[in-house]
Amino acid sequence: MVAIPHKKLRLAALLLLLLIVFMLDIAIGSIKIPLRQVFRSIFSLPGENTIGQYIIEKIRIPKAFTAVLAGCGLSVSGLQMQTLFRNPLADPSVLGITAGASLGVAMIMLAGGSIATLDTIKELGISGSWLIIGAACMGAAGIMLLVVSISGSLSDNVMMLIVGIMISTITLSIISIWQYFSAPELIKDYLLWTFGSLGGVTGNQLYILALAVVAGLIISFLSSKLLDALLLGENYARSMGLTTQRARVIIICSTSLLAGSITAFCGPIGFIGIAVPHMARSLFNTSSHRILIPGCCLIGTLLMLSCDIIAHMPGSQTVLPINIITALVGAPAVIWIILRRNNIRGY
């Protein structure tokens, strides 16, 4: 048992890195705020610069927390999908969950026409966000139920993936048809939403998002034993006493809650869901979900915050959409880990 101190050291290093990245994320932006003040604000020490204080409290901290929530939620839901379908390529977007959430949002944004543009939804405040989070979750859960009901009659994982991608494509086509017949300004609202943004979630919306993500994470952590059993496939899982139908529903619920709510508030953010589980498996060198779920949260948060820092292009006024950066940063990271450690095998 010599390996334990090494593991603890690695965990401590990751936590320290997380704290640094969190502070940097708050400090860096179109207005640069000194780290000293970030530190003071976070630990509620009396500050000096009131404008900086305002920016930190109202904009930067909510944005950083949104990144934390999105990082945790997306990576854990990706992990669950990879285990449920025993497929290393599975993530919420591959199986149509994100497309489902997008359809829900498109229905509100595009179908509503004059009464429900993004602005009106923002004006509606809490009820507006409930409307969007509800629509996105319904969309995500609907698609997910469809995918899983089909998965019951398929024994092959590759088939399942093909079916999932087909459903995703159908859903995206429906959205495209909708866009084709919609007014340009509504389409622009929707398109901006699809670029993804961590900055739009403030105040009460943040509480709602946090509630949904924390609930999803709790369900997920409670079902870590079910997920472990599913690593061997459904037949073995059943032979060990797992009720597969119930396990599937539980996993669907938490995945829909996580991916649906995050997509609703931040737009579709790709790649985190597929990349982080592989990173966690490699870094923690385990398949146990009891360790992988917190591990995914840790690495997902780190990656999401780093992506957000890069998206703000330190030293410039431009902000790139987060959805582009996650893939641009995440993909090389996964390739590097695979080449470097060579200890990832499937799911």
Partner 1 sequence: MNHNWPLLQTTNLVAGYSSGPKKIIPIAGPLAVDIHAGQLICLLGPNGSGKSTLLKTLAGLQPSLEGTIKIAGSDVHKLKPAQLAQKISLVLTDSVRNSNLTAYSLIALGRYPYSNWLGVLREADKAVITRAIGAAQIENLANRKIATLSDGESQKVMLARALAQDTPLMMLDEPTAHLDLPSRIQLMRLLHQLARQTNKGILVSTHELDLALQVADQVWLLQAGGLLSKGAPEDLVLNGTFEAVFDKEGILFDKTTGAFNIHTGNSTLIGLTGEGAPAFWTKRALQRQGFVVTTTGDPSVRILEEAGRTSWVLEFKGQLHKHESIASLLTGVNSMVEQGL
At closest approach, how far in Å is the CB of 238 from partner 1? 6
> Among residues 31, 166, 243, 335, which is the contact residue for partner 1, using CB under 8 A?
243
Nearer to partner 1, 49 or 286 (CB): 286
At closest approach, how far in Å is the CB of 297 from partner 1? 16
CA–chain centroid gap for 26, Å, is 20
Q: Does 232 participate in binding partner 1 (rule CB under 8 A)?
A: yes
State the burial class of residue 202 (Cβ atoms within 10 Å of its Cβ: 0-12, 13-18, 19+). Answer: middle
What does the radius of gyration of the chain's CA atoms come to, in whole angstroms? Answer: 20
> Where are the extended beta strands (E) located within the chain?
none
> Among residues 24, 35, 49, 86, which is the contact residue for partner 1, using CB under 8 A?
86
At closest approach, how far in Å is the CB of 227 from partner 1? 9
What CA–CA distance (Å, rounded) separates 146 from 144?
A: 5
Q: Which two tokens stand for residue 77?
A: 């839901």
At closest approach, how far in Å is the CB of 87 from partner 1? 9
What CA–CA distance (Å, rounded) separates 184 from 244?
A: 46
> Among residues 231, 313, 320, 338, which is the contact residue for partner 1, using CB under 8 A?
231
Contact 128, 121 (CB under 8 A): yes
At closest approach, how far in Å is the CB of 345 from partner 1? 4
Neighbours of 14 (CB within 10 A): 17
Positions in 87-116 near partner 1 (CB under 8 A): 88
What CA–CA distance (Å, rounded) separates 144 from 127?
A: 25
Contact 38, 20 (CB under 8 A): no
At closest approach, how far in Å is the CB of 167 from partner 1? 23
Neighbours of 10 (CB within 10 A): 12
Residue span 203-222 as binding mask against partner 1, x where in contact by CB under 8 A, dash where not:
-------------------x
Positions in 263-322 near partner 1 (CB under 8 A): 281, 286-288, 290
Residue span 314-343 as binding mask against partner 1, x where in contact by CB under 8 A, dash where not:
-----------------------------x
Q: Does 236 participate in binding partner 1 (rule CB under 8 A)?
A: yes
The DSSP symbol for 31 reads: S
Residues near partner 1 (CB under 8 A) = 86, 88, 222, 224-225, 228-229, 231-233, 235-236, 238-243, 281, 286-288, 290, 343-347
